[in-house]
């Protein structure tokens, strides 16, 4: 779906979708209060969570100064039953954007348990479960373990399937690789909080790295004037490829029960704040950019204005390599990231087969808290 002509205002989403736009409170109607961490918060919004230090005894290091942490030796199965450690892990992922683990022995059932716990222990709604992907689900017939198990709550990341379904649109195509930056499933009314990807087969040749970029830092790169401007915007996220691929290949899409009551239908369209507050950290992140709004638009502006805004926000993510982190996968390596505050993109620079199991947790309805701060402000770096 494309916006209307440049000479007219971009149409609002359908009435049902427009109702999904978060209510923006004001300090006049929602008094402010101080949290334990000293951050001023509106009473309507959750206070940010505090990391308690339970993971400090495990070897780890920051991959860059802005984004990424790696635990080179910790096995996630060691902490899975320790809710305090899993909660701290969720907070750490929200703070650092993405956290890496090497050579993990966790099986797919425990990966699903971990995916749900990360959100539950940090306050996500009870109705938010694991996402069931409309296209990459059990109907594609790809097993998620050595026993041939098929599972709708696991999105199999398969280069062979992508080549078949997308027919070279991404692999070897003459296009800019930077076009692929995105956050997962933001076309859903209730999108993802955390995602966990374990690569179980790396290419026989080389390549297949994944890059992540910090939405926190992208917001901090905006001038104060542009920050205030972006905070007042919403954007319609749209994913038309699922219906297109389903029609081309005669596939059935999962239209209902995609992990939350709100996530149903085959329009794959939702309106969210352009600047989103992460409830775990209380930090502002640029959210309405990347491939998820490529077919969408900035609400309430003309088509020309929408394209200019989208292009600038995309440049912040794609052209600032100092807010990105790149990860080279080995077999059984695993990454956990926060889709509320980071973008990622695959590197399709290989010929061999690459496959992994991704578990995507659903979180809260996206919101912007006008009392929240940027990452640099919160860390005293502004």
- In terms of phi and psi (left: phi > 0; alpha: psi -120 to 50; beta: otherwise), the region of 172 is left
User: In sequence order, what are the residues at sequence separation of 6 or more whose Cβ sits closer than 8 angstroms to the Cβ of residue 189?
Assistant: 17, 20, 260, 262, 263, 270, 365
User: Is the pLDDT confidence value at 1 over 80?
Assistant: no
**Could you state, in order of their start, the residue ranges of all structural domains in the chain?**
15-378
- Predicted confidence at residue 159, as pLDDT, reads 84
User: Is the pLDDT confidence value at 292 over 70?
Assistant: yes
Tens digits of per-residue pLDDT, 5-38?
333 344 433 333 333 223 223 222 233 343 433 3
pTM: 0.88
User: Is the pLDDT confidence value at 379 over 80?
Assistant: yes
Tens digits of per-residue pLDDT, 131-152?
999 988 888 888 888 888 889 9
- Predicted confidence at residue 13, as pLDDT, reads 38
Tens digits of per-residue pLDDT, 322-361?
999 999 999 999 999 999 999 999 998 988 899 999 999 9
- Predicted confidence at residue 147, as pLDDT, reads 84
For residues 353 and 371, give the distance between their C-alpha atoms in angstroms, rounded to a whole number. Answer: 47
For residues 354 and 109, give the distance between their C-alpha atoms in angstroms, rounded to a whole number. Answer: 21
Tens digits of per-residue pLDDT, 204-229?
999 999 999 999 999 999 999 999 99
User: In sequence order, what are the residues at sequence separation of 6 or more whose Cβ sits closer than 8 angstroms to the Cβ of residue 364?
Assistant: 123, 124, 125, 128, 190, 193, 279
Beta strands 69-71 and 98-101, pairing class: parallel
- Predicted confidence at residue 176, as pLDDT, reads 83
Cβ neighbours, 10 Å, residue 28: 6
- Predicted confidence at residue 18, as pLDDT, reads 30
Cα atoms found within 13 Å of the Cα of residue 282, Cβ hemisphere only: 23
**What is the average pLDDT across 180-184?**
96
Is-contact 97 342, C-beta < 8 A? yes
The CATH code belonging to domain 15-378 is: 3.60.130.10
Tens digits of per-residue pLDDT, 251-290?
999 999 899 999 999 999 999 999 999 999 999 999 999 9
User: Is the pLDDT confidence value at 4 over 70?
Assistant: no
């Amino acid at each position: 779906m494309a916006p209307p002509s440049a000479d007219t205002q971009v149409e609002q989403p359908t009435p049902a979708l427009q109702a999904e736009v978060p209510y923006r409170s004001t300090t006049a109607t929602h008094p402010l209060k101080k949290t334990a961490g000293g951050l001023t918060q509106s009473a309507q919004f959750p206070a940010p969570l505090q990391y308690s230090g339970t993971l400090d005894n495990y070897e780890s290091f920051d991959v860059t100064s802005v984004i990424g942490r790696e635990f080179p030796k910790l096995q996630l199965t060691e902490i899975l039953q320790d809710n305090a450690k899993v909660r701290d892990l969720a907070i750490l992922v929200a703070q650092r954007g993405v956290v890496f683990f090497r050579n993990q022995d966790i099986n797919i059932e425990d990966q699903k348990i971990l995916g749900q716990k990360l959100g539950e222990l940090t306050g996500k709604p009870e109705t938010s479960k694991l996402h069931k992907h409309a296209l990459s689900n059990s109907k594609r017939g790809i097993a998620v373990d050595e026993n041939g198990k098929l599972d709708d709550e696991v999105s199999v990341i398969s280069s062979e399937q992508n080549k078949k379904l997308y027919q070279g649109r991404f692999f070897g195509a003459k296009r800019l690789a930077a076009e692929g930056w995105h956050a997962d499933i933001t076309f859903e009314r209730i999108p993802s909080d955390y995602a966990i990807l374990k690569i179980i087969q790396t290419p026989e040749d080389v390549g297949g790295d994944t890059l992540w970029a910090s939405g926190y830092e992208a917001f901090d790169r905006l001038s104060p004037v542009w920050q205030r401007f972006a905070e007042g915007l919403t954007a319609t996220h749209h994913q038309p490829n699922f219906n297109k691929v389903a029609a081309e290949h005669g596939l059935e899409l999962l239209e209902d029960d995609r992990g939350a009551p709100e996530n149903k239908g085959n329009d794959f369209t939702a309106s969210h704040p352009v600047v989103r507050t992460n409830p775990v950290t209380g930090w502002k992140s640029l959210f309405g950019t990347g491939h998820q709004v490529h077919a969408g638009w900035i609400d309430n502006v003309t088509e020309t204005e929408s394209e200019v805004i989208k292009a600038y926000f995309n440049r912040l993510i794609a052209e600032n390599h100092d807010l990105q982190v790149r990860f080279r996968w080995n077999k059984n390596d695993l990454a956990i990231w926060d889709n509320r505050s980071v973008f990622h993109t695959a590197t399709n620079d290989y010929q061999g087969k690459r496959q992994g199991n991704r578990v995507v947790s659903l979180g809260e309805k996206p919101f912007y808290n006008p009392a929240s701060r940027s990452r640099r402000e919160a860390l005293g770096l502004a």
